[in-house]
Amino acid sequence: MFIDETTDFELTAERLLWGKLANAGQTCLAPDYILCSITTETQLLMAIQKTLVKFYPMKTGDPTNSYKDLGRIVNVSHFRRLNSALERSHGTVSIGGKRDETTLFFQPTVVGMLL
């Protein structure tokens, strides 16, 4: 998906997060990546952060207790696979990244990469 500066960033963020977070991202239409300019990235990240708070308001300062409506990773093996993929990525965590193996919690995470 390519997003340019003419988009409605808040509406785009809502649709992206709905598609990605519905059923814990386990849907055929879940977006896996976005292409955009650096300028667009800044605006989109702000809209995504705002939308995450709107969809899943934090009730405490601890993200692992704040997203009660989000599904957990199905088992430890899959949690470790995702954790390893995030640690090996060549990108920078722009949003989220908190995780807890004991509860199989993986906060919604956005990783930015320059291509």
Active site (catalytic) residues: 28
Q: Are the C-beta atoms of 51 and 17 separated by less than 8 Å?
A: yes
Q: β-strand 35-36 against 92-95: which pairing, if any?
A: unpaired
